A and B are shown apart, each in its own frame.
Chain A
Amino acid sequence: MKLTQVTFSFLPDLTDEQISAQVRYCISNGWAVSIEYTDDPHPRNVYWEMWDLPMFDLASPTPLMDALAACREANPGCYIRIAAFDSTKGWESLRISFIAQRPTTEPGFFMGRGYGPGRSIHYSARPYSANQPPGKRYQ
Protein backbone atom coordinates (compact mmCIF):
# COMPACT_ATOMS: atom_id res chain seq x y z
CA MET A 1 0.00 0.00 0.00
CA LYS A 2 0.93 3.65 -0.21
CA LEU A 3 0.18 5.87 2.76
CA THR A 4 -1.91 8.73 1.37
CA GLN A 5 -2.11 11.11 4.32
CA VAL A 6 -2.25 14.91 3.90
CA THR A 7 -1.41 16.66 0.62
CA PHE A 8 0.49 15.55 -2.52
CA SER A 9 0.54 11.89 -1.49
CA PHE A 10 -1.24 10.84 -4.70
CA LEU A 11 1.54 12.38 -6.78
CA PRO A 12 4.94 10.82 -7.42
CA ASP A 13 7.23 11.39 -4.39
CA LEU A 14 8.40 14.99 -4.34
CA THR A 15 11.92 15.84 -5.49
CA ASP A 16 14.04 18.10 -3.29
CA GLU A 17 13.45 20.88 -5.78
CA GLN A 18 9.69 20.46 -5.41
CA ILE A 19 9.94 20.32 -1.63
CA SER A 20 12.02 23.47 -1.65
CA ALA A 21 9.40 25.26 -3.79
CA GLN A 22 6.67 24.34 -1.30
CA VAL A 23 8.81 25.57 1.59
CA ARG A 24 9.33 28.84 -0.27
CA TYR A 25 5.54 29.14 -0.59
CA CYS A 26 5.18 28.62 3.19
CA ILE A 27 7.83 31.25 3.91
CA SER A 28 6.17 33.75 1.57
CA ASN A 29 2.99 33.35 3.64
CA GLY A 30 4.87 34.00 6.87
CA TRP A 31 4.35 30.49 8.24
CA ALA A 32 6.72 28.60 10.53
CA VAL A 33 7.94 25.39 8.92
CA SER A 34 8.71 22.18 10.76
CA ILE A 35 9.94 18.66 10.17
CA GLU A 36 8.41 15.63 11.89
CA TYR A 37 9.15 11.91 11.56
CA THR A 38 7.68 8.64 12.72
CA ASP A 39 7.70 4.89 12.27
CA ASP A 40 4.07 4.66 13.42
CA PRO A 41 1.99 5.96 10.51
CA HIS A 42 -1.37 5.09 12.10
CA PRO A 43 -3.95 7.59 10.73
CA ARG A 44 -4.72 8.78 14.26
CA ASN A 45 -1.11 9.10 15.39
CA VAL A 46 -1.19 12.90 15.65
CA TYR A 47 2.13 13.50 17.33
CA TRP A 48 4.99 12.49 15.11
CA GLU A 49 8.43 13.16 16.61
CA MET A 50 9.65 16.72 16.10
CA TRP A 51 13.00 17.17 14.39
CA ASP A 52 14.05 20.20 16.39
CA LEU A 53 11.67 23.15 16.77
CA PRO A 54 9.63 24.69 13.96
CA MET A 55 11.70 27.22 12.03
CA PHE A 56 10.32 30.72 12.43
CA ASP A 57 11.18 33.73 10.25
CA LEU A 58 13.05 31.74 7.62
CA ALA A 59 14.65 33.88 4.92
CA SER A 60 15.12 31.00 2.48
CA PRO A 61 14.34 27.27 2.30
CA THR A 62 18.03 26.35 2.72
CA PRO A 63 18.13 25.86 6.54
CA LEU A 64 14.99 23.73 6.34
CA MET A 65 16.38 21.65 3.47
CA ASP A 66 19.63 21.12 5.41
CA ALA A 67 17.66 19.97 8.44
CA LEU A 68 15.61 17.64 6.23
CA ALA A 69 18.81 16.06 4.92
CA ALA A 70 20.01 15.51 8.48
CA CYS A 71 16.67 14.07 9.56
CA ARG A 72 16.70 11.68 6.59
CA GLU A 73 20.18 10.52 7.41
CA ALA A 74 19.27 9.85 11.03
CA ASN A 75 15.93 8.19 10.20
CA PRO A 76 16.33 6.36 6.91
CA GLY A 77 13.39 3.97 7.46
CA CYS A 78 10.88 6.54 8.72
CA TYR A 79 8.08 8.65 7.35
CA ILE A 80 9.04 12.32 7.34
CA ARG A 81 6.56 15.12 6.82
CA ILE A 82 6.87 18.87 6.50
CA ALA A 83 4.22 21.00 8.13
CA ALA A 84 3.70 24.76 8.27
CA PHE A 85 2.01 26.70 11.06
CA ASP A 86 0.04 29.91 10.62
CA SER A 87 -0.29 32.02 13.77
CA THR A 88 -2.92 34.37 12.29
CA LYS A 89 -5.82 35.01 14.63
CA GLY A 90 -8.73 32.78 13.81
CA TRP A 91 -6.50 30.10 12.28
CA GLU A 92 -3.59 29.31 14.63
CA SER A 93 -3.01 25.85 13.25
CA LEU A 94 -1.37 24.01 10.37
CA ARG A 95 -1.81 25.38 6.87
CA ILE A 96 -0.12 22.63 4.91
CA SER A 97 1.43 19.26 5.57
CA PHE A 98 3.03 16.84 3.12
CA ILE A 99 5.21 13.75 3.16
CA ALA A 100 8.89 14.28 2.30
CA GLN A 101 10.14 10.72 2.80
CA ARG A 102 8.52 7.31 3.06
CA PRO A 103 9.99 3.84 3.71
CA THR A 104 10.82 1.77 0.64
CA THR A 105 8.20 -0.83 1.52
CA GLU A 106 4.92 0.03 3.19
CA PRO A 107 3.19 -3.10 4.46
CA GLY A 108 -0.02 -1.28 5.45
CA PHE A 109 -2.59 -1.89 8.16
CA PHE A 110 -4.48 -4.80 9.61
CA MET A 111 -8.12 -4.00 10.28
CA GLY A 112 -9.55 -5.63 13.39
CA ARG A 113 -13.27 -6.22 13.89
CA GLY A 114 -14.76 -6.58 17.36
CA TYR A 115 -18.39 -7.60 17.53
CA GLY A 116 -20.91 -5.45 19.39
CA PRO A 117 -24.64 -5.70 19.91
CA GLY A 118 -27.12 -5.16 17.07
CA ARG A 119 -24.69 -6.16 14.32
CA SER A 120 -22.45 -3.22 15.19
CA ILE A 121 -18.73 -3.72 14.74
CA HIS A 122 -15.93 -1.91 16.50
CA TYR A 123 -13.07 -1.41 14.12
CA SER A 124 -9.40 -0.90 14.73
CA ALA A 125 -6.45 -0.42 12.40
CA ARG A 126 -2.97 -1.60 13.30
CA PRO A 127 0.15 -1.06 11.20
CA TYR A 128 1.74 -4.43 10.41
CA SER A 129 5.04 -2.77 11.22
CA ALA A 130 3.84 -2.09 14.79
CA ASN A 131 4.69 -5.69 15.65
CA GLN A 132 8.26 -4.45 16.00
CA PRO A 133 9.31 -1.97 18.69
CA PRO A 134 10.01 1.64 17.74
CA GLY A 135 13.31 1.96 15.93
CA LYS A 136 13.12 -1.60 14.57
CA ARG A 137 10.28 -1.01 12.10
CA TYR A 138 10.74 -0.63 8.35
CA GLN A 139 14.27 -2.05 8.38
Chain B
Amino acid sequence: MPYAQMGYWQPDYEPTDTDVIAVFRITPQTGVDAIEAAAAVAGESSTATWTVVWTDRLTACENYRAKAYRVEQVPNRDDQWFAWIAYDLDLFEPGSISNLTASIIGNVFGFKPIKALRLEDMRIPVAYLKTFNGPPTGIVVERERLDKFGRPLLGATVKPKLGLSGRNYGRVVYEALRGGLDFTKDDENINSQAFMHWRDRFLYCMEAVNRAEAATGEIKGTYLNITAATMEDMYERAEFAKELGSSVVMIDLVIGYTAIQSMSNWARRNDMILHLHRAGHSTYTRQRDHGVSFRVIAKWMRMAGVDHIHAGTVVGKLEGDPATVAGIYSTLRDEHTHQRLEHGLFFDQPWAALNKVMPVASGGIHAGQMHQLLHYLGEDVILQFGGGTIGHPDGIAAGATANRVALETMVMARNEGRDYFHEGPEILRAAARTCGPLARALETWGDVTFDYTSTDSPDFVPTSTPT
Protein backbone atom coordinates (compact mmCIF):
# COMPACT_ATOMS: atom_id res chain seq x y z
CA MET B 1 0.00 0.00 0.00
CA PRO B 2 1.42 3.45 -0.88
CA TYR B 3 2.50 5.56 2.10
CA ALA B 4 0.19 8.33 0.90
CA GLN B 5 -2.77 6.02 1.42
CA MET B 6 -1.58 4.86 4.85
CA GLY B 7 -2.32 8.29 6.31
CA TYR B 8 1.08 9.95 5.92
CA TRP B 9 -0.23 12.44 3.32
CA GLN B 10 -2.89 14.74 4.73
CA PRO B 11 -3.16 17.86 2.56
CA ASP B 12 -5.92 19.27 4.78
CA TYR B 13 -3.96 18.91 7.99
CA GLU B 14 -3.41 22.11 9.97
CA PRO B 15 -0.36 21.83 12.24
CA THR B 16 -1.05 22.59 15.89
CA ASP B 17 1.02 24.92 18.06
CA THR B 18 2.68 21.95 19.72
CA ASP B 19 3.65 20.05 16.57
CA VAL B 20 7.27 19.75 15.56
CA ILE B 21 7.46 20.69 11.87
CA ALA B 22 10.23 19.78 9.45
CA VAL B 23 10.85 20.92 5.89
CA PHE B 24 12.73 18.44 3.74
CA ARG B 25 14.11 18.87 0.25
CA ILE B 26 13.29 15.65 -1.56
CA THR B 27 14.79 14.39 -4.81
CA PRO B 28 12.62 11.35 -5.68
CA GLN B 29 13.97 8.56 -7.83
CA THR B 30 12.87 8.89 -11.46
CA GLY B 31 9.25 7.88 -11.75
CA VAL B 32 8.44 8.28 -8.03
CA ASP B 33 5.63 10.73 -7.40
CA ALA B 34 6.57 13.71 -5.20
CA ILE B 35 3.59 13.32 -2.89
CA GLU B 36 4.26 9.63 -2.39
CA ALA B 37 7.94 10.45 -1.68
CA ALA B 38 6.89 13.04 0.92
CA ALA B 39 4.49 10.59 2.53
CA ALA B 40 7.26 7.99 2.62
CA VAL B 41 9.60 10.44 4.36
CA ALA B 42 6.87 11.20 6.91
CA GLY B 43 6.24 7.50 7.41
CA GLU B 44 9.83 6.39 7.70
CA SER B 45 10.64 9.21 10.14
CA SER B 46 7.73 8.24 12.38
CA THR B 47 5.72 5.05 12.72
CA ALA B 48 5.81 3.31 9.35
CA THR B 49 7.62 0.30 8.09
CA TRP B 50 7.52 -1.08 4.53
CA THR B 51 4.28 -3.01 5.01
CA VAL B 52 1.10 -2.76 7.05
CA VAL B 53 1.34 -4.33 10.52
CA TRP B 54 -1.68 -5.40 12.57
CA THR B 55 -0.03 -4.17 15.78
CA ASP B 56 -0.70 -0.62 14.59
CA ARG B 57 -4.28 -1.34 15.54
CA LEU B 58 -3.26 -1.69 19.18
CA THR B 59 -2.15 1.96 19.30
CA ALA B 60 -3.65 5.38 18.73
CA CYS B 61 -1.69 5.26 15.46
CA GLU B 62 -3.46 8.28 13.94
CA ASN B 63 -1.75 10.32 16.59
CA TYR B 64 1.75 8.96 16.12
CA ARG B 65 1.83 9.13 12.33
CA ALA B 66 3.80 12.07 10.99
CA LYS B 67 1.76 13.96 8.42
CA ALA B 68 3.13 15.40 5.21
CA TYR B 69 0.72 18.26 4.55
CA ARG B 70 2.32 20.39 1.88
CA VAL B 71 4.58 19.71 -1.11
CA GLU B 72 6.01 22.43 -3.34
CA GLN B 73 8.47 22.34 -6.16
CA VAL B 74 11.88 23.87 -5.34
CA PRO B 75 12.30 27.11 -7.32
CA ASN B 76 14.22 26.49 -10.54
CA ARG B 77 14.54 22.73 -9.95
CA ASP B 78 12.20 20.34 -11.77
CA ASP B 79 13.47 17.28 -9.89
CA GLN B 80 13.20 18.52 -6.29
CA TRP B 81 10.36 19.28 -3.89
CA PHE B 82 10.06 20.83 -0.47
CA ALA B 83 7.84 18.79 1.82
CA TRP B 84 6.38 20.06 5.10
CA ILE B 85 5.86 17.32 7.68
CA ALA B 86 4.24 17.70 11.10
CA TYR B 87 5.05 15.46 14.06
CA ASP B 88 3.02 15.17 17.24
CA LEU B 89 4.83 16.38 20.35
CA ASP B 90 4.31 13.02 22.08
CA LEU B 91 6.69 11.37 19.63
CA PHE B 92 9.69 12.94 21.35
CA GLU B 93 11.39 12.43 24.67
CA PRO B 94 11.62 15.68 26.65
CA GLY B 95 15.00 17.39 26.53
CA SER B 96 16.71 14.88 24.24
CA ILE B 97 18.39 15.97 21.01
CA SER B 98 19.40 12.36 20.45
CA ASN B 99 15.80 11.23 20.51
CA LEU B 100 14.59 14.09 18.32
CA THR B 101 17.27 13.42 15.71
CA ALA B 102 16.94 9.64 15.84
CA SER B 103 13.37 10.21 14.66
CA ILE B 104 13.81 12.99 12.17
CA ILE B 105 17.07 11.92 10.53
CA GLY B 106 17.34 8.37 11.84
CA ASN B 107 16.44 6.01 9.00
CA VAL B 108 14.95 7.99 6.25
CA PHE B 109 18.06 9.40 4.56
CA GLY B 110 18.96 6.01 3.12
CA PHE B 111 15.51 5.20 1.84
CA LYS B 112 15.77 3.77 -1.70
CA PRO B 113 12.79 5.48 -3.43
CA ILE B 114 14.42 8.86 -2.89
CA LYS B 115 17.67 9.80 -4.58
CA ALA B 116 18.60 12.48 -2.07
CA LEU B 117 17.10 14.14 0.97
CA ARG B 118 17.95 17.23 2.93
CA LEU B 119 16.52 18.55 6.18
CA GLU B 120 16.22 22.27 5.45
CA ASP B 121 14.62 23.71 8.58
CA MET B 122 12.52 22.82 11.60
CA ARG B 123 9.94 24.61 13.73
CA ILE B 124 10.38 23.55 17.33
CA PRO B 125 7.25 24.26 19.39
CA VAL B 126 7.68 26.27 22.57
CA ALA B 127 6.26 23.33 24.51
CA TYR B 128 9.22 21.22 23.43
CA LEU B 129 11.82 24.01 23.73
CA LYS B 130 10.86 24.41 27.37
CA THR B 131 12.13 20.90 28.09
CA PHE B 132 15.68 22.03 27.18
CA ASN B 133 17.98 24.12 29.35
CA GLY B 134 19.73 25.77 26.43
CA PRO B 135 23.07 27.57 26.60
CA PRO B 136 24.53 27.51 30.10
CA THR B 137 25.82 31.09 29.88
CA GLY B 138 24.45 32.90 26.83
CA ILE B 139 25.65 36.06 25.16
CA VAL B 140 24.51 38.56 27.79
CA VAL B 141 25.90 36.75 30.83
CA GLU B 142 29.12 35.94 29.00
CA ARG B 143 29.62 39.64 28.31
CA GLU B 144 28.86 40.45 31.96
CA ARG B 145 31.33 37.84 33.17
CA LEU B 146 34.05 39.02 30.84
CA ASP B 147 33.24 42.74 31.24
CA LYS B 148 33.25 43.23 27.47
CA PHE B 149 30.49 45.37 26.00
CA GLY B 150 29.99 47.20 22.74
CA ARG B 151 32.18 45.32 20.30
CA PRO B 152 32.70 41.87 18.82
CA LEU B 153 35.11 39.73 20.82
CA LEU B 154 38.43 38.75 19.32
CA GLY B 155 40.11 35.38 19.29
CA ALA B 156 42.76 33.29 17.61
CA THR B 157 43.31 29.61 17.17
CA VAL B 158 46.81 28.57 18.17
CA LYS B 159 48.86 27.54 15.15
CA PRO B 160 50.43 25.25 14.08
CA LYS B 161 47.50 23.04 14.93
CA LEU B 162 49.74 20.13 15.85
CA GLY B 163 53.23 19.61 17.16
CA LEU B 164 53.86 22.43 19.63
CA SER B 165 55.02 21.43 23.10
CA GLY B 166 52.95 22.70 26.02
CA ARG B 167 55.54 25.33 26.85
CA ASN B 168 55.71 26.68 23.28
CA TYR B 169 51.95 26.51 22.92
CA GLY B 170 51.46 28.71 26.01
CA ARG B 171 53.81 31.27 24.48
CA VAL B 172 51.42 31.76 21.56
CA VAL B 173 48.52 32.15 23.99
CA TYR B 174 50.37 34.73 26.07
CA GLU B 175 51.51 36.82 23.11
CA ALA B 176 48.10 36.84 21.45
CA LEU B 177 46.23 37.78 24.64
CA ARG B 178 48.60 40.48 25.81
CA GLY B 179 48.58 41.91 22.28
CA GLY B 180 44.83 42.59 22.53
CA LEU B 181 42.76 39.47 21.91
CA ASP B 182 40.09 38.34 24.36
CA PHE B 183 40.41 34.63 23.71
CA THR B 184 42.69 32.04 22.26
CA LYS B 185 41.54 28.63 21.20
CA ASP B 186 42.68 25.05 20.93
CA ASP B 187 42.02 23.60 17.52
CA GLU B 188 39.56 20.77 17.01
CA ASN B 189 42.20 18.07 16.83
CA ILE B 190 44.29 19.18 19.83
CA ASN B 191 43.41 16.66 22.51
CA SER B 192 46.23 14.74 24.19
CA GLN B 193 48.88 13.60 21.78
CA ALA B 194 52.48 12.48 22.07
CA PHE B 195 53.85 16.00 21.54
CA MET B 196 51.62 17.58 24.22
CA HIS B 197 49.73 15.92 27.04
CA TRP B 198 46.48 17.66 27.92
CA ARG B 199 47.49 18.49 31.49
CA ASP B 200 50.63 20.19 30.28
CA ARG B 201 48.64 22.24 27.81
CA PHE B 202 46.13 23.33 30.45
CA LEU B 203 48.85 24.35 32.94
CA TYR B 204 50.89 26.38 30.47
CA CYS B 205 47.79 27.96 28.95
CA MET B 206 46.53 29.13 32.33
CA GLU B 207 49.92 30.62 33.16
CA ALA B 208 49.63 32.51 29.88
CA VAL B 209 46.05 33.65 30.51
CA ASN B 210 46.85 34.96 33.98
CA ARG B 211 50.05 36.67 32.86
CA ALA B 212 48.13 38.40 30.08
CA GLU B 213 45.39 39.50 32.50
CA ALA B 214 47.99 41.05 34.79
CA ALA B 215 49.74 42.72 31.86
CA THR B 216 46.57 44.36 30.54
CA GLY B 217 44.14 44.55 33.47
CA GLU B 218 41.57 42.91 31.22
CA ILE B 219 39.83 39.54 31.54
CA LYS B 220 41.19 36.93 29.14
CA GLY B 221 40.41 33.32 28.37
CA THR B 222 41.46 30.32 26.36
CA TYR B 223 39.16 27.56 25.12
CA LEU B 224 40.66 24.40 26.60
CA ASN B 225 39.56 21.53 24.39
CA ILE B 226 38.32 18.73 26.63
CA THR B 227 37.27 16.46 23.76
CA ALA B 228 38.43 12.93 24.58
CA ALA B 229 37.72 9.28 23.98
CA THR B 230 35.20 8.79 26.79
CA MET B 231 32.87 10.85 28.95
CA GLU B 232 34.99 9.93 31.98
CA ASP B 233 38.04 11.46 30.30
CA MET B 234 36.08 14.57 29.35
CA TYR B 235 34.78 15.10 32.86
CA GLU B 236 38.33 14.69 34.23
CA ARG B 237 39.66 17.32 31.83
CA ALA B 238 36.76 19.66 32.53
CA GLU B 239 37.31 19.38 36.29
CA PHE B 240 41.00 20.17 35.89
CA ALA B 241 40.20 23.22 33.74
CA LYS B 242 37.86 24.39 36.50
CA GLU B 243 40.45 23.83 39.24
CA LEU B 244 42.90 25.98 37.30
CA GLY B 245 40.38 28.80 37.08
CA SER B 246 39.58 28.65 33.37
CA SER B 247 36.39 30.48 32.39
CA VAL B 248 35.76 28.40 29.29
CA VAL B 249 36.09 24.85 27.99
CA MET B 250 35.66 23.54 24.48
CA ILE B 251 34.19 20.46 22.84
CA ASP B 252 33.98 19.20 19.26
CA LEU B 253 30.71 18.42 17.47
CA VAL B 254 32.02 14.92 16.73
CA ILE B 255 31.58 13.89 20.40
CA GLY B 256 27.87 13.50 19.66
CA TYR B 257 24.63 15.04 20.85
CA THR B 258 24.36 13.14 24.13
CA ALA B 259 27.91 14.06 25.14
CA ILE B 260 27.24 17.69 24.20
CA GLN B 261 24.17 17.79 26.43
CA SER B 262 26.10 16.16 29.28
CA MET B 263 28.89 18.72 29.02
CA SER B 264 26.31 21.49 28.82
CA ASN B 265 24.85 20.35 32.13
CA TRP B 266 28.34 20.21 33.61
CA ALA B 267 29.08 23.74 32.34
CA ARG B 268 25.82 24.99 33.86
CA ARG B 269 26.71 23.50 37.24
CA ASN B 270 30.19 25.00 37.15
CA ASP B 271 29.65 28.51 35.69
CA MET B 272 31.69 27.59 32.66
CA ILE B 273 31.34 28.99 29.14
CA LEU B 274 30.99 26.10 26.68
CA HIS B 275 32.59 26.51 23.26
CA LEU B 276 31.60 24.18 20.42
CA HIS B 277 33.82 23.63 17.39
CA ARG B 278 31.65 22.28 14.54
CA ALA B 279 34.22 19.66 13.55
CA GLY B 280 32.83 17.35 10.88
CA HIS B 281 29.67 19.26 10.01
CA SER B 282 30.56 19.92 6.38
CA THR B 283 30.30 16.20 5.64
CA TYR B 284 26.52 16.61 5.84
CA THR B 285 25.70 20.35 5.76
CA ARG B 286 27.44 21.67 2.68
CA GLN B 287 25.73 20.02 -0.29
CA ARG B 288 22.30 21.41 -0.99
CA ASP B 289 20.81 18.15 -2.24
CA HIS B 290 21.54 15.85 0.67
CA GLY B 291 22.14 16.04 4.40
CA VAL B 292 21.13 18.51 7.09
CA SER B 293 21.29 22.27 6.72
CA PHE B 294 23.62 23.93 9.22
CA ARG B 295 20.76 26.18 10.31
CA VAL B 296 19.11 23.06 11.71
CA ILE B 297 22.32 22.01 13.46
CA ALA B 298 22.54 25.54 14.90
CA LYS B 299 18.99 25.22 16.19
CA TRP B 300 19.70 21.85 17.79
CA MET B 301 22.87 23.21 19.40
CA ARG B 302 21.02 26.17 20.90
CA MET B 303 18.61 23.64 22.40
CA ALA B 304 21.38 21.25 23.48
CA GLY B 305 23.05 24.19 25.18
CA VAL B 306 26.35 25.53 23.90
CA ASP B 307 27.55 29.10 24.38
CA HIS B 308 29.73 29.47 21.29
CA ILE B 309 29.45 27.83 17.89
CA HIS B 310 31.39 28.34 14.69
CA ALA B 311 28.84 29.64 12.21
CA GLY B 312 30.56 31.11 9.17
CA THR B 313 32.45 34.24 8.19
CA VAL B 314 31.00 35.18 4.77
CA VAL B 315 34.37 36.58 3.68
CA GLY B 316 36.79 33.90 4.91
CA LYS B 317 38.13 30.68 3.44
CA LEU B 318 35.24 28.37 4.39
CA GLU B 319 31.76 27.91 2.90
CA GLY B 320 29.44 30.78 3.79
CA ASP B 321 26.96 32.46 1.49
CA PRO B 322 25.99 35.85 3.05
CA ALA B 323 22.25 35.14 3.09
CA THR B 324 22.67 31.63 4.48
CA VAL B 325 25.05 32.87 7.18
CA ALA B 326 22.59 35.64 8.12
CA GLY B 327 19.91 32.96 8.62
CA ILE B 328 22.20 30.91 10.84
CA TYR B 329 23.17 33.96 12.92
CA SER B 330 19.46 34.83 13.41
CA THR B 331 18.83 31.30 14.62
CA LEU B 332 21.60 31.60 17.20
CA ARG B 333 21.08 35.17 18.43
CA ASP B 334 17.46 36.27 18.04
CA GLU B 335 14.83 36.37 20.77
CA HIS B 336 12.40 35.40 18.05
CA THR B 337 13.68 34.24 14.67
CA HIS B 338 11.37 35.39 11.89
CA GLN B 339 10.53 33.46 8.76
CA ARG B 340 12.71 34.73 5.94
CA LEU B 341 12.92 32.50 2.90
CA GLU B 342 15.73 34.45 1.26
CA HIS B 343 17.86 33.62 4.33
CA GLY B 344 16.76 30.00 4.26
CA LEU B 345 14.46 30.42 7.28
CA PHE B 346 11.19 28.59 6.60
CA PHE B 347 9.52 29.28 9.95
CA ASP B 348 8.97 31.77 12.69
CA GLN B 349 10.81 30.39 15.67
CA PRO B 350 10.09 31.87 19.09
CA TRP B 351 12.94 30.97 21.45
CA ALA B 352 11.01 30.99 24.75
CA ALA B 353 13.78 32.85 26.63
CA LEU B 354 16.42 30.24 25.82
CA ASN B 355 19.82 31.92 26.07
CA LYS B 356 21.50 33.19 22.93
CA VAL B 357 24.51 31.50 21.39
CA MET B 358 27.57 33.56 20.44
CA PRO B 359 28.49 32.77 16.84
CA VAL B 360 32.18 32.40 16.07
CA ALA B 361 33.61 33.53 12.73
CA SER B 362 36.82 31.73 11.99
CA GLY B 363 38.85 30.68 8.99
CA GLY B 364 40.86 32.87 6.64
CA ILE B 365 39.88 36.32 7.91
CA HIS B 366 42.17 39.30 8.53
CA ALA B 367 42.18 42.89 9.80
CA GLY B 368 41.70 44.36 6.32
CA GLN B 369 38.19 42.87 6.18
CA MET B 370 37.03 44.44 9.45
CA HIS B 371 34.35 46.66 7.85
CA GLN B 372 32.89 43.66 6.01
CA LEU B 373 32.97 41.47 9.11
CA LEU B 374 31.18 44.08 11.21
CA HIS B 375 28.64 44.71 8.46
CA TYR B 376 27.78 41.06 7.79
CA LEU B 377 28.14 39.60 11.27
CA GLY B 378 27.22 42.43 13.64
CA GLU B 379 28.42 42.99 17.17
CA ASP B 380 27.61 39.78 19.05
CA VAL B 381 30.16 37.53 17.43
CA ILE B 382 33.67 36.31 18.14
CA LEU B 383 36.02 37.12 15.28
CA GLN B 384 38.84 34.62 15.24
CA PHE B 385 41.99 35.43 13.38
CA GLY B 386 44.42 32.49 13.58
CA GLY B 387 46.79 33.01 10.67
CA GLY B 388 45.70 36.67 10.72
CA THR B 389 47.25 37.06 14.20
CA ILE B 390 50.05 34.52 14.41
CA GLY B 391 51.25 35.10 10.84
CA HIS B 392 51.89 38.83 11.38
CA PRO B 393 55.43 39.64 10.21
CA ASP B 394 56.20 41.55 13.43
CA GLY B 395 55.02 38.80 15.75
CA ILE B 396 51.92 37.47 17.43
CA ALA B 397 51.31 40.39 19.81
CA ALA B 398 51.60 42.83 16.89
CA GLY B 399 49.08 40.72 14.96
CA ALA B 400 46.69 40.84 17.90
CA THR B 401 47.10 44.61 18.29
CA ALA B 402 46.42 45.13 14.58
CA ASN B 403 43.15 43.23 14.87
CA ARG B 404 42.03 45.00 18.04
CA VAL B 405 42.82 48.46 16.70
CA ALA B 406 41.09 47.69 13.39
CA LEU B 407 38.03 46.43 15.28
CA GLU B 408 37.74 49.33 17.72
CA THR B 409 38.30 51.87 14.94
CA MET B 410 35.53 50.34 12.88
CA VAL B 411 33.07 50.17 15.80
CA MET B 412 33.80 53.78 16.64
CA ALA B 413 33.19 54.84 13.02
CA ARG B 414 29.95 52.87 12.89
CA ASN B 415 28.70 54.43 16.13
CA GLU B 416 29.58 57.88 14.83
CA GLY B 417 27.22 57.24 11.94
CA ARG B 418 29.81 56.88 9.19
CA ASP B 419 29.21 54.72 6.12
CA TYR B 420 31.86 52.34 7.43
CA PHE B 421 31.06 49.55 4.97
CA HIS B 422 32.04 51.67 1.98
CA GLU B 423 34.62 53.83 3.71
CA GLY B 424 36.15 50.83 5.51
CA PRO B 425 39.50 50.66 3.69
CA GLU B 426 39.97 54.41 4.18
CA ILE B 427 39.05 54.20 7.90
CA LEU B 428 41.59 51.41 8.37
CA ARG B 429 44.33 53.29 6.52
CA ALA B 430 43.74 56.33 8.74
CA ALA B 431 43.98 54.19 11.91
CA ALA B 432 47.15 52.58 10.58
CA ARG B 433 48.88 55.96 10.55
CA THR B 434 49.12 55.81 14.37
CA CYS B 435 49.38 52.00 14.62
CA GLY B 436 52.42 50.37 13.01
CA PRO B 437 51.15 46.79 13.50
CA LEU B 438 47.92 47.60 11.64
CA ALA B 439 49.89 49.21 8.80
CA ARG B 440 51.97 46.02 8.44
CA ALA B 441 48.87 43.81 8.57
CA LEU B 442 47.21 45.80 5.76
CA GLU B 443 50.40 45.65 3.67
CA THR B 444 50.66 41.91 4.19
CA TRP B 445 47.06 40.75 3.75
CA GLY B 446 45.21 43.72 2.28
CA ASP B 447 44.40 41.91 -0.95
CA VAL B 448 43.71 38.39 0.32
CA THR B 449 40.16 37.30 -0.49
CA PHE B 450 38.41 33.96 -0.97
CA ASP B 451 35.85 34.71 -3.63
CA TYR B 452 34.26 31.44 -4.74
CA THR B 453 30.70 30.50 -5.54
CA SER B 454 28.84 29.13 -2.53
CA THR B 455 27.39 25.64 -2.72
CA ASP B 456 24.84 26.27 0.03
CA SER B 457 22.81 29.34 -0.91
CA PRO B 458 19.07 29.84 -0.35
CA ASP B 459 16.62 28.88 -3.10
CA PHE B 460 14.47 31.95 -2.69
CA VAL B 461 15.51 35.41 -3.78
CA PRO B 462 13.80 38.56 -2.57
CA THR B 463 11.46 40.07 -5.16
CA SER B 464 10.46 43.69 -5.07
CA THR B 465 6.78 44.41 -4.83
CA PRO B 466 5.56 46.40 -7.86
CA THR B 467 4.34 49.82 -6.83
Contacts and interface: CB of A to CB of B under 8 A. Distances in A.
A11 B408 contact: yes
Interface in B136-153: 140, 143-144, 147-151
A65 interface: no
A39 B204 CA distance: 31
Interface in A88-137: 89-98, 108-111, 116, 118-123, 125, 127
Interface residues of B, number: 40
Interface stretch (A40-48, A51-59, A70-78): A40-48
Interface in B184-225: 199, 203, 206-207, 210-211, 213-219
A68 to B, nearest CB: 17
A118 B354 CA distance: 39
Given A89-B335, A93-B143, A1 B217 contact: yes
Contacts, number: 118
A120 B203 contact: yes
A3 interface: yes
A138 to B, nearest CB: 13
User: Could you tell me the dominant secondary structure of chain A's interface residues?
Assistant: loop
User: Could you tell me the dominant secondary structure of chain B's interface residues?
Assistant: helix
Contacts of B232: none
Contacts of A95: 149-150
B415 A125 contact: no
B447 interface: no
A97 B217 contact: no
A95 B140 CA distance: 9
B150 A5 contact: no
Given A43-B213, A44-B219, A109-B213, 5 more contacts: A43-B218, A90-B356, A93-B144, A109-B214, A120-B243
30 contacts: A1-B215, A1-B217, A5-B218, A6-B147, A7-B151, A7-B408, A7-B411, A9-B218, A9-B408, A10-B401, A10-B408, A11-B409, A21-B416, A22-B415, A22-B416, A25-B417, A41-B217, A43-B213, A46-B147, A90-B335, A93-B149, A96-B150, A97-B150, A109-B215, A110-B214, A111-B213, A119-B203, A120-B244, A121-B206, A123-B206
Nearest 6 interchain pairs by C-beta? A96-B150, A123-B210, A111-B214, A25-B415, A3-B217, A7-B150
Interface of B: 140, 143-144, 147-151, 180, 199, 203, 206-207, 210-211, 213-219, 243-245, 335, 353, 356, 401, 404-405, 408-409, 411-412, 415-417, 431, 434
